[in-house]
Chains A and B, each alone.
Chain A
Amino acid sequence: MALSGMRGLSVFISDVRNCQNKEQERLRVDKELGNVRTRFKNEKGLSPYEKKKYVWKMLYIYMLGYDVDFGHMEAVSLISAPKYPEKQVGYIVTACLLNENHDFLRLAINTVRNDIIGRNETFQCLALTLVGNIGGREFAESLAADVQKLLISSSCRPLVRKKAALCLLRLYRKNPDVVNVDGWADRMAQLLDERDLGVLTSSMSLLVALVSNNHEAYWSCLPKCVKTLERLARNQDIPQEYTYYGIPSPWLQVKTMRALQYFPTVEDPNTRRSLFEVLQRILMGTDVVKNVNKNNASHAVLFEALALVMHLDAEKEMMSQCVALLGKFIAVREPNIRYLGLENMTRMLMVTDVQDIIKRHQAQIITSLKDPDISIRRRALDLLYGMCDVSNAKDIVEELLQYLSSADFAMREELSLKAAILAEKFAPDLSWYVDVILQLIDKAGDFVSDDIWFRVVQFVTNNEDLQSYAAAKAREYLNKPAIHETMVKVSAYILGEYGHLLARRPGYSPKELFTIIHEKHPTVSTSTIPILLSSYAKILMHTQPPEPELQNQIWTIFNKYESCIDVEIQQRAAEYFALSRKGASLMDILAEMPKFPERQSALIRKAEDAEVDTAEQSAIKLRAQQQMSTALVVTDQRPPNGMPAQPSIGPLSLVKVPSETVDSQNPGDQGLTHPNGVVYKEDPQPPSQDIIGDLLGTLSIEGPPGAVAQSPQSATYEAEGAPSAADAAALVPVGEESGSVQPIGNINERFYALCLKDSGVLYEDPNIQIGIKAEWRAHQGRLVLFLGNKNTASLGSVQALILPPTHLKMELSLVPETIPPRAQVQCPLEVMNLRPSRDVAVLDFSYKFGPTMVNVKLRLPAVLNKFLQPITVSPEEFFPQWRSLSGPPLKLQEVVRGVRPLPLPEMANLFNTYRLTVCPGLDPNPNNLVASTTFYSETTRAMLCLVRIETDPADRTQLRMTVASGDPTLTFELKEFIKEQLVSIPTAPQRPQGPAAPPPPVAQITAPPPAASQDPGALLAGLL
């Protein structure tokens, strides 16, 4: 048993193991520590053997969890021992006890360096290992050059060089300047020709670190990586000892594919082809087998290959193969594969447009939300969160709500936050949103942060249609016998504000509302009382004519709280009491809260801030930002009409975003998901049943009886100190409010303004302003984007991508990656109109400011009317044309209802601004209007269009419209276009903007200190 060869050490270990309890163990350890300490004090008497033994003992004690705050010096000093056994102990123990920030380590630098540059190979290995494991900046600066020399030296054996490679990797991580890019890139490429697979593996790790910072410099390594991967995947010339369960070094394969993921693309067509062949081979050739270790190894390679395919944004066919594979993975029994399947699906969401295929697995993913394994549940939650959009929000959010009641405490906060965010972002209608949030509060009130209920109050305040609905809902919840305090807050607030809207319904009289709210009063804490008081004051104000009995009741309450110790409550009580005697002025002061200015949801912002910057989480972040513009539209006064693809009338549907066209092309590819023939047999054996799993099976037999008897005891005392899994709660909102970027002004309004004029601002936020100037000539146009950096720091990662609809050909000149401080960059954009269409091009614009990535999708004002040229036609030209275009499809007529009433001259003006020339006098009827224009596109060339509008002076909301042109599509598109303009004229802002909103009166009167305030109005104003 005592293999250690050091009797004293073995005896000590046995002693510790034989201790009956923690106390005995501590005594034994303390005794030993005292012994070691005295021995070290009179160091002169210590033989190297003894020193070595005591240092080992120290490490053992340290490992048991005791503080070892002496003896570090002795460990470090052993490094300079002349003989191998002592030196080795010095190196190992130092590397275990100290970390890179430890002062003692400095003392060793010289000795370590001497060992590195010395001739003794074994010493070189020891030194490189220490530096590789705990070397810090100082080591990097003084040793990097020597380590580099060893790595490329032809006289060194592989065992030294592989250590040198990883050692250099560590030093590079501590200080990237130690690797001189210019000199090192070629060397690195040479290293990849290495025949020894150990050295190659270590070098590949080094390359991964280098390219992750600067891929430009290492282009020459790319083809070599592909070669290496080919060699491994085809098992060509791989020594037997470098295969692991029959797979040529899975580690090297994974590393190589990891390195390849740092190059943006593979440009050389030959290299690209061979890489895809290899990837295809890996994707197709990996089966689930019985041996769990073989499985792990082959799937490690497979998942890395998947990541690489995603990165390369391969052909559609390969992508759908990947999704199909992942779809199988998430349904297999083997939990590791299931976990990774879900994780990689989440990653896939951001990389490519495969959402629709992923959505088909929704049911399976929801099943995983109920998996016995919390790790898998978390992945499922993340994936559901990432894949949620308008089409499936209802299902997903309702699943989350249902799961909430049974979810682990560790997950509830994250779950409620995510459900709240999804409900807000993708609500098909706002009443559903209110339902969701109230259910959330009802089911998991403790885990619903204040932000969530502030947000619902904000929505209700800003949407009149919602107010009575919310009040009714709030009333329903108050009927329940026991409700969460947060629910009391929301309900009281909403009923105070809007309860009066339902006053005629039975059960909603002021008296009844007051009673039902006040019933909850005894159960709430002081933080809720101010809200209740405001509610009572509002109920009182809405009671017309006053009811003396109710008035007295409420006054009594105000009276009671006038002497409350809590300042906030006292002040409110006193002020409301005084105010409620003022009669009419009460009405002004307690009037309904004004609308909140539209801002990005504080929730979404917080979620973004709280997310750690990791691959798939930043994907979600990215998506959240992309959808920001949608979120703004949702919060617009008009509820969205469900599916965006549905043609509907209103400013939202003025244009169709071309992504729909892209979506509709997808179904063709969806059939290709299965034929790749990868078979996943379920492993009938649980993982631990594997042969190697039993590797240590003999253990319990060999263990002395004492150890077995001791185990329950030690298990208890160890468990007591262990924190519960709940501490690991992942997504805790933090108090920080900064970091996200808000657009200045309304993006929609800016767009509509630019549809009518040719220059102006398209987008603006605190960091950047995007201006546009356009010139149109016939079917061509030239736009110039002016990207102006408003900051004194430069903006990085600037990317502008044009998503053109099919009818426009667009070419954007190069957009620089960074915009210098206070500089303006001009990017010309050439547009050519191919066909008549109302679709609109979208500019996908992103930049990075500090750590924040900002991404906006902006519609470009290259709309149909830009390709019109006004033209005046004489009656002689008009009538023959009009008659020759005799009927559908060239001439279309439609009665349009719901027109925004306009006096005829104004309508004529409107036509003129859209470049349709109104020709007075052509139509004898003064209530009619005739206009003409020329439309230019590549297919239609110049095409005359004629329009006639017949209005009804008795009913200005309806009219008959006739549009004619020589091209059926053009006739149709132009007719729809004009209709959209008439039905809703989106130029004027429909609601008062920010500054117009008066400050909340309640906040004015009570003037609470902002930090202590519990009034949601005041808090919201601060929060949003």
Chain B
Amino acid sequence: MIHFVLLISRQGKVRLTKWYSPYSQKERSKVIRELSGIVLNRGPKLCNFVEWRGHRVVYRRYAGLYFCMCIDEADNELEVLDIIHHFVEILDRYFGSVCELDLIFNFHKAYYILDEVLIAGEFQESSKRTIIRLLSTHDSMVEMAKEEATSIGNMIAQVTK
């Protein structure tokens, strides 16, 4: 299973963390520190796997952003690499040519999208179309709620005018 997912920028900034195994606050910071040290210092053209504390970390760099997933040694590394890329493709389709800034200002959406790809550290859905459809339903529900709120707000405003 995937124990955690990390998105780290080339400068070592954390863009997303998701923990499927119970790590305490302290352990989480330690893991991030250690792994960014290891992953960011790896040169190009090396393999996408790093051995770390009896686990494997599968990572891939997209522009300035490193997507890392930590798995058990017995797991299938390439399968996880496919998951990373699948996730990136969905982000790309959702944001339309995604870039790091999209993920910074919409980090909450990135979390929501990740929840459609993984649950319990296991792969959930391989159809991009299904996921994108769900995401747009979700967005429209938020929009609807917002409009409702504004219309109620307007009504209140008109009434109290």
Contact = CB atoms under 8 A, between A and B. Distances in A.
A254 interface: yes
A703 B100 contact: yes
A59 B108 contact: yes
B33 A723 contact: yes
A198 B126 contact: yes
Nearest to B86: A244
A201 interface: yes
A338 B107 CA distance: 35
Contact of A92 (B42, B61, B111): B111
A258 interface: yes
Contacts of A728: 34, 38, 51-53
B54 A614 contact: yes
Given A698-B97, A699-B63, A2 B105 contact: yes
A84 B149 contact: no
B136 interface: no
Interface in A351-397: 372-373, 375-376, 378
A96 B149 CA distance: 27
Contact of B108 (A4, A304, A686, A724): A4
Contact of B122 (A169, A198, A617): A169
A250 B41 contact: no
B125 A335 contact: no
Interface residues of A, number: 108
B62 A696 contact: yes
A198 B120 CA distance: 15
Interface string A119-138: 00010000011001110100
Contact-size category for B: 35 or more
A528 interface: no
B22 A99 contact: yes
Interface in A513-560: none
A727 interface: yes
Contact of B11 (A67, A92, A694, A714): A714
Contact of A133 (B36, B43, B79, B119): B119
Contacts of B46: 335, 372-373, 375-376
A496 B49 CA distance: 50
Given A89-B108, A198-B124, A715-B12, A63 B17 contact: yes
A994 interface: no
A803 B22 CA distance: 46
Given A254-B79, A304-B76, A711-B10, A63 B107 contact: yes
B85 A339 contact: no
A163 interface: yes
A375 B44 contact: no
Given A1-B105, A714-B13, A129 B119 contact: yes
Nearest to A100: B22
Contacts of B128: 241
A159 B17 CA distance: 24
Contacts of B85: 293, 296, 692
B149 to A, nearest CB: 7
A614 B72 contact: yes
A719 interface: yes
B124 A249 contact: no
Contact of B101 (A1, A241, A688, A727): A1
A891 to B, nearest CB: 61
Contacts, number: 268
Q: Is the interface of A mostly helix, strand, loop or mixed?
A: helix
B45 A162 contact: no
A198 B82 contact: no
A138 to B, nearest CB: 13
A251 B126 contact: yes
A722 B63 contact: no
A376 B107 CA distance: 34
B78 A251 contact: no
A611 to B, nearest CB: 9
A75 to B, nearest CB: 12
A96 B111 contact: yes
A311 to B, nearest CB: 12
A65 B62 contact: no
A239 B128 CA distance: 12
B70 to A, nearest CB: 13
Contacts of A340: 77-78
Contact of A166 (B15, B38, B119, B134): B119
B73 A614 contact: yes
Contact of A122 (B97, B102, B112, B141): B141
Contacts of B106: 3-4
Given A133-B119, A688-B61, A718-B12, A612 B77 contact: no
A699 B37 contact: no
Interface in A245-291: 249-252, 254-255, 258
Contacts of B102: 3
Interface in A1-45: 1-5, 10, 13, 17
Nearest to A725: B38
A797 to B, nearest CB: 19
A250 B82 contact: yes
Contacts of B43: 372
Contacts of A198: 124-127, 130
Q: Which among B16, B49, B79, B81 has the greatest number of chain A C-beta atoms within 10 A?
A: B79
A721 interface: yes
B104 interface: yes
A314 interface: no
Interface string B27-40: 00100111011101
Interface of A: 1-5, 10, 13, 17, 49, 56, 59-60, 63-65, 67, 83-85, 88-89, 92, 95-96, 99-101, 122, 128-129, 132-134, 136, 159, 162-163, 166-167, 169-170, 173, 197-198, 201-202, 205, 239, 241-242, 244, 249-252, 254-255, 258, 293, 296-297, 299-300, 303-304, 335-336, 338-340, 372-373, 375-376, 378, 612, 614-617, 686-688, 692-700, 702-703, 710-711, 714-715, 718-719, 721-725, 727-728, 730
Given A251-B79, A336-B77, A700-B64, 13 more contacts: A63-B14, A65-B29, A85-B142, A133-B20, A162-B124, A162-B125, A205-B122, A241-B129, A300-B78, A695-B89, A698-B97, A699-B65, A719-B37
26 contacts: A4-B108, A49-B149, A85-B145, A99-B24, A163-B124, A166-B120, A198-B126, A202-B119, A202-B124, A244-B86, A244-B126, A251-B82, A251-B126, A300-B79, A335-B46, A336-B48, A372-B43, A373-B47, A614-B54, A614-B74, A686-B45, A696-B62, A696-B65, A703-B101, A722-B12, A728-B38
Interface of B: 10-20, 22-25, 29, 32-34, 36-38, 40-54, 61-65, 72-74, 76-79, 81-83, 85-86, 88-89, 92, 95, 97-102, 104-109, 111-112, 115, 119-120, 122-130, 134, 138, 141-142, 145-146, 149
Q: Which 5 A-B pairs give the minimum distances between C-beta atoms? A: A722-B37, A718-B12, A696-B63, A300-B78, A335-B47
